[in-house]
A and B are shown apart, each in its own frame.
Chain A
């Protein structure tokens, strides 16, 4: 068969192999090496000096780093569960014999396409401004406006809301997962007199776990890398309350030129994501149910 031709296969894979080496593996290793150096952005690369673990010990003593890591964790572990829960809820509501299901799906999906843009971040700034849309609406229902961008907790909420607004892509995936569940399972359960909640717990949720797992991993990885929203809306402030790690890495590199330190930060970020995804994959065999397996989950 023609597909057993290894040389042809390698030829087709060549762009990936080159790209993997030049644009991924080499920078990946270089970044680790740089994290052991005192390299400054404006210097020739030859002048980089080895400083051992100095950048990492500097991190441990740096209150800005601790603040940045802390707010990054808050950001990720507030946005991801809320976003997934909301996406799942709306997917349930949509998974029904509804007219115009396509129109709703489109309307909900649109923000996740546009939400990462600077334009939307700019609009967000205005919507959450002191006399912006949100505060004016609050006043209409008799509540006091809030200094969204000026107070640490509210600034974080503003940035989190921008991400929650983009729940559509996760929802579309949940909806496809729901629609892939065979109807005869529901019919059989109903005939046996199962209550809706039991049906949800015993049929829908187990069959949906692969999709929940996929969405969870993708959302965690993306949330850890958020940059545009906080950079444009709050600039990381006030009082570094939205100074996520990607912002800190950017500023350490291109504002303070401290490439060594920034590389240590980016490797730290990488390790955090790697450990979390590894844990998620490890745990998946206990709770993710693939329907081609014979046994049901306990």
Chain B
């Protein structure tokens, strides 16, 4: 993506403007990222150093915090909590991607009865506060006998319950030219074959964006696990971290910072590997819509 120039009259003024812009951007960017640097640095500092200076580079680097943080103060290592997070997040991501594509296909291409109303409801679910649904959903899952399992955390995703993702894919699908699909019809494809062989390959950037967002948001999710999971062996990293600060906070700051760093690592790696999809995904609903 290339930035469009804003018109300015003289080159000298343009250069001044560029210098001011760089100064602002670097200054603000540094302030923005410093807490993250400080967190990562703090994971490798001895405890007495963490609140002793504002620098992020450890003066006496140590792996003490990382090792103790990984072992946690519970009977499980942090690996258990990471694994639990993945057991929730991976099914959730897959189910979200599949259900959102199917439903978006119906909305973007088919003449379904009551489509306008249904589309309105889809948008309304995006704006509906989740807390109004939380209590009855909890009671429902309790009746199902699903408490303290991962099921309440990912099964709803199989039913396109996150309207935002469906909307993203609808927007993307509407921007695709219909000619290829028409050709596929002439070749005798049915609608499922068209979706799978023609549309899904073209939709890949949108599907990847949906998967990435769902991954990040589910990794960050705290209220869901807090409500549904009660045994420590089922805790994902968000709950494990909250538990650790309640139990060990008094002195073991480097452990907590090490655990925070590890907790953010999957999201960080994914973000840097796939950052362009985030930008595309964020803007598809807002600007094309």
- Residues of A participating in the B interface, judged by any CB pair closer than 8 Å: 1-6, 8-13, 15-20, 22-24, 26-28, 30-31, 34, 45, 90, 93-98, 101-102, 104-111, 113-114, 116-120, 122-127, 129, 131-133, 136-137, 140, 165, 169, 172-173, 176-177, 179-181, 183, 186-187, 190, 211, 214-215, 217, 221, 224-225, 227-228, 231-232, 245-246, 249-250, 253-254, 259, 262-263, 266-267, 269-270, 273-274, 277
Question: Closest B-chain residue to A25, C-beta based?
Answer: B121
Known: A177-B286, A254-B227. A15 touches B159 (CB 8 A): yes
B54 contacts A137, C-beta separation under 8 Å: yes
- Per the bound structure, the CA–CA distance linking A185 and B195 in Å amounts to 40
Per-residue CB proximity of B95-107 to A under 8 Å, as 1/0?
0000100110111
Q: Name the CB-closest residue of B to A86.
A: B28
Q: Shortest distance in angstroms between B266's beta carbon and chain A's nearest beta carbon?
A: 11
Residues of B that sit less than 8 Å from A by CB: 1, 3-7, 9, 17-18, 21-22, 24-25, 28-29, 32-36, 38-39, 42, 50-51, 53-54, 99, 102-103, 105-107, 109-113, 118, 121-122, 125-140, 143, 156, 158-161, 166, 185, 190-191, 194-195, 216-217, 219-220, 222-223, 227, 237-239, 241-242, 245, 253, 256-257, 259-261, 263-264, 267-268, 271-272, 275, 278-279, 282-283, 285-287, 289
- Contact present for A259 and B135 (CB under 8 Å): yes
27 A-B pairs in the complex with CB atoms less than 8 angstroms apart: A2-B185, A4-B111, A8-B110, A9-B112, A12-B102, A13-B112, A15-B102, A15-B159, A16-B118, A19-B158, A20-B125, A94-B3, A96-B5, A106-B272, A117-B267, A120-B35, A122-B260, A125-B245, A126-B51, A126-B253, A137-B54, A173-B287, A176-B283, A186-B6, A221-B127, A227-B222, A270-B128
Which residues on B sit within 8 Å (CB–CB) of A31? 132-133, 135-136
Known: A5-B110, A113-B278. A183 touches B4 (CB 8 A): yes
Describe B's contact surface by its main secondary structure.
helix
The reply to whether A273 and B7 contact each other, CB–CB distance below 8 Å, is no
- Whether A123 contacts B35 in the complex (CB less than 8 A), given A12-B105, A24-B125, A173-B283, comes out as yes
Given the complex, which residues of B lie within 8 Å of A270, measured CB to CB? 128-129, 132
> In the complex the two chains form, is B129's CB within 8 Å of A109's CB?
no
Chain B residues whose CB sits within 8 angstroms of the CB of A22 once the complex forms = 159
Known: A131-B51, A133-B35, A177-B287. A13 touches B107 (CB 8 A): yes
**Residue from A10, A30, A34, A118 within 8 A of B222 (CB atoms):** A118
A-B contact sample (8 more), CB < 8 A, given A118-B222, A120-B260, A221-B127: A2-B191, A12-B103, A12-B105, A19-B160, A110-B32, A117-B220, A122-B257, A266-B135
Nearest B residue to A168 by beta-carbon distance? B32
A173 touches B282 (CB 8 A): yes
Assess the B253–A34 pair: CB atoms within 8 A: no
Q: Which of A15, A94, A228 contacts B158 (CB 8 A)?
A: A15
Contact A1 B132 (CB under 8 A): no
- Docked CA distance A141–B7 (Å): 39
B253 contact set on A, CB distance < 8 A: 126
Q: Which residues of A contact B134 (CB under 8 A)?
A: 249, 253, 266
Point out the residues of chain B lying under 8 angstroms from A215, CB to CB: 286
Measured between alpha carbons, how far is A217 from B131 in the docked complex, in Å? Answer: 18
Q: Is the CB of B32 within 8 A of A165?
A: yes
Considering the chains assembled together, what is the distance between the CA atoms of A271 and B134 in angstroms? 16
In the bound complex, do residue B3 and residue A101 qualify as a contact, i.e. CB atoms below 8 Å apart?
Answer: yes
CA of A108 to CA of B137, assembled, Å: 36
Q: Please measure, in the bound complex, the distance between the C-alpha atom of A267 and the C-alpha atom of B131, giving whole angstroms.
A: 9
Do B267 and A113 touch across chains, with their CB atoms under 8 A apart? yes
Q: Please determine whether A232 and B7 come into contact, CB atoms closer than 8 angstroms.
A: no
B287–A176 touching, CB < 8 Å: yes
Closest residue on chain B to residue A194 by CB atoms: B7
Q: How far is the CA of A2 from the CA of B264 in the complex (A)?
A: 46
Chain A residue with the shortest CB-CB distance to B99: A15
When the two chains form their complex, are residues B136 and A118 in contact, meaning their CB atoms are under 8 A apart?
no
Option from A116, A129, A259, A266 in Cβ contact (under 8 Å) with B132: A266
Tell me the bound Cα distance from A125 to B54 in angstroms: 15
> CB < 8 Å: which of B143, B216, B242 contacts A113?
B216
CB <8 Å contact, B29 and A24: no
Contact between chains at B4 and A117 (CB < 8 Å): no
On chain A, the residues within 8 Å of B161 by CB distance are 19, 23-24
The listed residue (B33, B129, B260) touching A273 by CB distance below 8 A is B129
